[in-house]
């Protein structure tokens, strides 16, 4: 009698090999579910961390620009604002916030690099160029570096207990501390408005003051001799304030819809 192949015997007796495979699909499903859970936690953990680091980048830029405009500024409160509010709610797997109300996990450090030598400054080492750089505020005072350090979850880590397995493979641990920096070269001569620009020009003896005094002296002398003639024509007296009348006057080709181009 010829023996039937194994495949034929299995079709004739399907229940004979089913017993050893009982529960295998359930085990594979649980394993796949755990892997998916870890992937989901990893994506959420990394995305949250990247979002915090992006805010640290924005905060360092804000601090650097604020200090460049005003060396006496204290942008710490503005830096803390990047880590609070409705758009900055980061929580761990327990639902606890990663930053407390005092922002103890956020700090700001400001430093300045070495000043460029005179040979590398605008106008080289000339004495007149040195005076003009100082008058106009364009002398290099070093590269300003604003560094924002963040340590998410460190202040909230106290009181957490349990084994590493119960803490979901360290997804509940504090995030690694990180630092984000922005460097800006100061001394570009920018003014915050017309008043500051005119004040800076007026206080510059080398570029404006000495020439202005000489011109005004000659102008007043001529105006004194021309006053009787101008009076007959009812002409207004000449004004020697050559800065104030220009305040707020921007050429039209620099304006777009009422604003600056």
Asked whether the predicted pLDDT for residue 99 surpasses 70, the reply is yes
List the strands of the sheet with 106-112, edge to edge: 106-112, 143-150, 178-185
153 pLDDT above the threshold of 60: yes
* Highest-confidence segment of 73-77, 121-125, 242-246: 73-77
Q: Are the CB atoms for 128 and 206 separated by under 8 Å? A: yes
* Tokens matching residue 242: 């050559």
Residue 148 confidence (pLDDT) above 70: yes
What pLDDT score does 130 carry? 82
For 190, the 3-state DSSP assignment is coil
Distances in Å between the Cα of 167 and the Cα atoms of 49, 163, 174 are 18, 6, 11
CA dihedral sign of residues 23, 27, 32, 34: positive
Residue holding tokens 């202040």?
155
Tokens of residue 87, six digits: 């758009």
Quick one: pLDDT at residue 258? 47
CB atoms within 10 A of CB 216: 13
For 117-137, the pLDDT digits (tens) are: 777 777 777 788 888 888 887
Residue 173 to residue 175: CA distance in whole angstroms: 6
Whole-number CA gyration radius for the chain: 36
Tokens representing 233 are 């024509």
- Encode pLDDT of 19-64 as tens digits: 555 667 777 788 888 888 778 877 888 888 898 999 999 999 999 9
Within 8 A by CB and 6+ apart from 243, the residues are: 198, 201, 202
H or E element in which residue 182 lies: strand 178-185
For residue 2, name the pLDDT band (cuts at 50, 70, 90). Answer: low
Phi, psi of 175 (to 5 degrees): -70, 155
Please give the structure tokens belonging to residue 1.
């009698």
At 210, list the tokens: 């000495």
Mean pLDDT, range 157-167, rounded to an integer: 50
Q: H helices then E strands: how many in the chain? A: 6, 5
**pLDDT for the residue numbered 164:** 47
């Amino acid at each position: 009698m010829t023996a039937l192949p194994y495949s034929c015997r299995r079709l004739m007796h399907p229940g004979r090999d089913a017993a050893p495979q009982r529960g295998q699909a359930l085990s594979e499903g649980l394993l796949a579910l755990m892997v998916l859970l870890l992937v989901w936690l990893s994506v959420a953990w990394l995305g949250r961390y990247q979002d915090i680091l992006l805010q640290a980048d924005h905060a360092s830029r804000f601090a650097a620009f604020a200090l460049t405009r005003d060396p006496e500024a204290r942008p710490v409160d503005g830096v803390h604002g990047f880590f609070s509010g409705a758009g900055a709610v980061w929580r761990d797997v327990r639902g606890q916030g990663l930053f407390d109300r005092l922002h103890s996990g956020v700090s700001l450090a400001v430093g300045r690099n070495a000043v460029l030598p005179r040979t590398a400054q605008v106008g080289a080492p000339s004495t007149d160029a040195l005076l003009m750089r100082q008058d106009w505020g364009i002398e290099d005072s070093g590269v300003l570096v604003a560094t924002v350090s963040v340590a998410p979850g460190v202040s909230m880590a106290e009181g957490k207990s349990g084994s590493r397995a119960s803490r979901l493979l360290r997804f509940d641990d504090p995030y690694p501390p990180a630092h984000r920096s922005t460097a800006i070269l100061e001394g570009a001569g920018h003014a915050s408005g017309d008043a500051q620009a005119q004040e800076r020009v007026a206080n510059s003896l080398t570029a404006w003051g000495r020439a202005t005094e000489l011109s005004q002296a000659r102008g007043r002398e001529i105006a004194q001799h021309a006053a009787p003639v101008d009076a007959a024509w009812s002409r207004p007296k000449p004004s020697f304030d050559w800065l104030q009348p220009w305040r707020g006057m921007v050429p039209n080709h620099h304006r777009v819809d009422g604003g600056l181009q």
